[in-house]
């Protein structure tokens, strides 16, 4: 999730958005979701999104970036940056996308300590802590349900059992955990969980559904198409841009007319300054030479 994608989502009517660690890895690093994103990169991305939209923001904080003390610091940082809910998972390193193979887990009691640290660290009780377990892929559905129950007892406000493989597994999770606690489902295109409509997930017992990285995946082939067309020898490079109607749609999306109008509100008759003539290299040398203090031991190199 980036600022522009957050704008698209809010304009489509969504009032709650998911800031995906995978999407940050894809768009900021150009890398897969294998634990390369840092806490500061998530916080920076989150702050930029919060500056642009008023939607509720659920933030993927991976493992909390360390032990329980690191989790506490992560929660405080993300909350300051605008998080309304913070998701923490029980993977061990090297961690990876919940729908990739080869995951490993930390002990359940260690994760409970992380959950308690997150609850203690949050400034506002309105900031939700989401406890995620990746145990389905490592230990099976029943151990995953047991872990999620422990995370609820440790203080998690929302539970997230990642990557159930069948609809029946989703139903088992909901029937075992759903009483009195919101459940989150993850619908990843091409992932290990069968995609179900939101209404069906709600009927099963889930309160939230996320589609992490969905916009990135949808846009990826179109970006490549535009660049391939633009790179053909002798081809009119404006054609793919005209096909996307990029000028009007993009300016409308990012609020260009509104920002230009806002800028005009602060203009005064004398606020537009004439451009200064560019200083030549010789004038610059003369100016710097004149500013040098007598007796200075600093050596001036050539500019």
* pLDDT tens per residue, range 108-126: 999 999 999 999 999 999 9
The pLDDT-based confidence of 298 (bands split at 50, 70, 90) is very low
User: Which residues of the chain form CATH 3.20.20.60?
Assistant: 3-212
Q: Is residue 148 scored above 50 in pLDDT? A: yes
Helical spans, DSSP H, in 53-140: 68-81, 108-121, 135-138
The average pLDDT across 13-17 equals 93
Burial of 229 (0-12, 13-18, 19+ CB in 10 A): middle
Least confident of 66-80, 86-100, 124-138: 86-100
Query: What is the pLDDT, as a whole number, of residue 30?
Result: 87
Per 3-state DSSP, what percentage of the chain is helix, strand, and coil (rounded to 5)?
50, 10, 40
Q: Is residue 178 scored above 90 in pLDDT? A: no
The average pLDDT across 231-239 equals 64
The average pLDDT across 134-152 equals 97
Query: What is the pLDDT, as a whole number, of residue 108?
Result: 98
CATH of 3-212, one of 3.40.50.300, 3.60.21.10, 3.20.20.60, 3.30.1360.20: 3.20.20.60
Query: What is the pLDDT, as a whole number, of residue 188?
Result: 87
The pLDDT-based confidence of 257 (bands split at 50, 70, 90) is confident
Query: What is the pLDDT, as a whole number, of residue 201?
Result: 97
């Amino acid at each position: 999730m980036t600022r522009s994608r957050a704008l698209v989502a809010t304009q489509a009517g969504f009032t709650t958005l998911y800031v995906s660690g995978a999407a940050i890895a894809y768009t900021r690093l150009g890398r897969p979701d294998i634990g390369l994103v840092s806490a500061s990169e998530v916080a920076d991305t989150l702050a930029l999104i919060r500056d642009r939209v008023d939607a509720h923001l659920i933030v993927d904080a991976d493992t909390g970036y360390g032990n329980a003390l690191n989790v506490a610091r992560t929660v405080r940082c993300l909350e300051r940056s605008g998080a309304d809910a913070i998701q923490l998972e029980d993977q061990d390193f090297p961690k990876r996308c919940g729908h990739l193979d080869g995951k490993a887990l930390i002990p359940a009691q260690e994760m409970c300590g992380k959950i308690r640290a997150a609850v203690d660290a949050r400034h506002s009780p309105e900031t939700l802590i989401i406890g995620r377990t990746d145990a389905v892929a490592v230990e099976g559905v029943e151990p995953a349900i047991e872990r999620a129950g422990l995370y609820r007892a440790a203080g998690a406000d929302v539970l997230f059992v990642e990557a159930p493989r069948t609809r029946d597994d989703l139903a088992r999770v909901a029937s075992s955990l759903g009483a009195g606690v919101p459940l989150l489902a993850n619908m990843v295109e091409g992932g290990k969980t069968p995609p179900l409509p939101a209404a069906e997930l709600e009927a099963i017992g889930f309160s939230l559904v996320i589609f992490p990285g969905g916009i990135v995946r949808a846009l990826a082939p179109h970006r490549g198409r535009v660049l391939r067309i633009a790179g053909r020898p002798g081809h009119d490079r404006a054609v793919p841009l005209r096909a996307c109607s990029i000028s009007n749609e993009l300016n409308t999306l990012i609020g260009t007319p509104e920002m230009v109008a806002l800028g005009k509100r602060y203009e005064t008759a004398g606020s537009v300054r004439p451009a200064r003539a560019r200083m030549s290299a010789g004038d610059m040398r003369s100016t710097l030479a004149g500013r040098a203090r007598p007796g200075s031991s600093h050596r001036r190199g050539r500019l």
